[in-house]
Amino acid sequence: MSDGNLSDRAGESERSAGEAQHFDVLIVGAGISGIGAAWHLQTQAQGKTFRIVETLEGFGGTWWTHRYPGVRSDSDLHTFGYRFKAWRGPPIATAQEILAYMGEVIDENDIARHIQYRTRVLTADWSEADCQWVVELEDVESGARSRMTAGFLWMCQGYYRHSEGYTPEWPGMDDFRGRLIHPQTWPEDLDYAGKRIIVIGSGATAATLIPALADAAGHVTMLQRSPTYFTPGRNRNELAETLRELEIDPVWTHEIVRRAMLKTGAQMTKRALEQPAEVREELLGVLRGLLGDDYVAEHFTPRYDPWRQRIAFVPNGDFFQAVKAGKAGVVTDEIDRFVAEGIRLKSGKVLEADIIITATGFNLNVLGDIAFSVDGRPVDLSQSVTYRGMMFTGLPNLAWVFGYFRASWTLRADLMGDFVTRLLRYMDEKGLRRVEPALRPEDAGMKLGPWIDETEFNPGYLMRGVHLMPKAGDKPEWRHTQDYWGEKDLLPNLDLDDPIFRYR
């Protein structure tokens, strides 16, 4: 596995004093999307020079920064893994297993030499005269500034700020005598053995943390304002295990299981949208069998229909087993204020704690918090319009990988890898240097709205920051759809001669 701690400063020997390095493509971010983008460039756009710049000291993104106990995927790795790299482990994987998998991709494809770690992108200015991006970089360790130019920007930095998680401001937080922690910045020195712990939040992070803490802690309480949908199941794929027992080629096994998982996911999503009451009863019925009718009615019955937010899979039901064993519990109430000994609820009850963990979500990060401009004129991203959630009006030669909410992120990263490399090859064949999506005459007066309709998908992190995101139109070309099953056929066949694409 590649050593993520080694910042190889790839290519510094190429840089002459005062001269900016130039690459055909600059990839921002060395997480699951960025490493995938590098693979696509090397295999589908051979000859293109590229560099990956990464703020962190290692590859992996989420799987590098998230180090809280029990951290694991909330998507199955048969679909969250790359389509070009077989996954050989259990469906739900730990952070270390995912990092090892990504490290193999890096090693097998000689990608490490292209990665420049501990490098932050500050600004990106498009030069119309030169048809290239001029990017200002900062060395995270020394603060030294440098410049790089690129013909195309491939934004793979994700959608949330890695440096800090989202913690609401509650009254009295300074009064609490214990430790207050966000999972995204987990302290390595935390000793929680025998401690009373409150985990604020009801999403996948809370459901992951609680069983990991429960054995050593005195007691763990999940404090939620409102319930989330959970579904327990074995962390084992019977089809995958059967194919492995039959010694089927791992590449075939990966593709067969991947297709089966996607088919099952498509059917589940379709049913959830068309028959929400029936799906709701099925999900709750499983939990009633584990925890009883009254407990599920009070703590695990959401106010919204299935798939308005992600349904959190609980491998081997470990979260529910901790609750059933009395090592963990759930309180559904609202916070009035923090007090010295813990949290006082709106009901008047005080929950005592030695440690409070705010599993309260992310801070949305729009295109890496980078200051974009065109010929020195600042670009207001919230006033641009998205082309299929990939490109944006007013930003030439740029694509942003933004995955699916109802399916694995990497599915779209792979589809976009095909699209971007095909676009780059097309431009080379035609002798073109600039492309930008633009509204057509028939789009005049098109109704514009938020990036995603809150009636379709409404997690808190997105609703808090959606005003910062590019706009969406009311036509399919100008929306970010959640339909992988449609896009898997549509994106590879997009007409690059469509008038939407303005070339030069």
pLDDT band at 348 (very low <50, low <70, confident <90, very high): very high
> Whole-angstrom Cα distance, residue 91 to residue 373?
42
Write the burial class of residue 355 (CB in 10 Å: 0-12 exposed, 13-18 middle, 19+ buried).
Answer: buried
Q: How large is the C-alpha radius of gyration of the chain?
A: 24
Q: Which amino acid is at 160?
A: Y
pLDDT band at 4 (very low <50, low <70, confident <90, very high): very low
> Whole-angstrom Cα distance, residue 150 to residue 372?
14
Say yes or no to pLDDT of 465 above 80.
no
Q: 3-state class of 254 per DSSP?
A: helix
Q: 3-state class of 464 per DSSP?
A: helix
What is the average pLDDT across 431-460? 86
Q: What is the pLDDT of residues 51-105, one digit of tens each?
A: 999 999 999 999 999 999 999 998 899 999 999 999 999 999 999 999 999 999 9
pLDDT in the model for residue 410: 95
What is the average pLDDT across 371-395? 96
Q: What are phi and psi of 8, to 5 degrees?
A: -80, -5
Are 222 and 300 in contact, with CB atoms under 8 Å apart?
no
Q: What are phi and psi of 24, to 5 degrees?
A: -65, -40
> Whole-angstrom Cα distance, residue 391 to residue 398?
6
Are 92 and 73 in contact, with CB atoms under 8 Å apart?
yes
pLDDT in the model for residue 18: 55
Non-local (6+) Cβ contacts of 357 within 8 A are 181, 182, 183, 197, 198, 199, 200, 209
pLDDT in the model for residue 11: 42
Non-local (6+) Cβ contacts of 193 within 8 A are 216, 217
What is the average pLDDT across 391-396? 97
pLDDT in the model for residue 166: 87
For residue 177, the tally of other CB atoms under 10 A from its CB is: 11
Non-local (6+) Cβ contacts of 438 within 8 A are 393, 500, 502
Q: What is the pLDDT of residues 106-158, one digit of tens each?
A: 999 999 999 999 999 999 999 999 999 999 999 999 999 999 999 999 999 98
The residue with tokens 């001269």 is 19
> Whole-angstrom Cα distance, residue 220 to residue 427?
57
pLDDT in the model for residue 259: 93
Q: What is the pLDDT of residues 253-285, one digit of tens each?
A: 999 999 999 999 888 888 988 999 999 999 999
What is the average pLDDT across 374-380? 97
> Whole-angstrom Cα distance, residue 354 to residue 39?
46
The structure's pTM equals 0.92
What is the average pLDDT across 181-191? 93
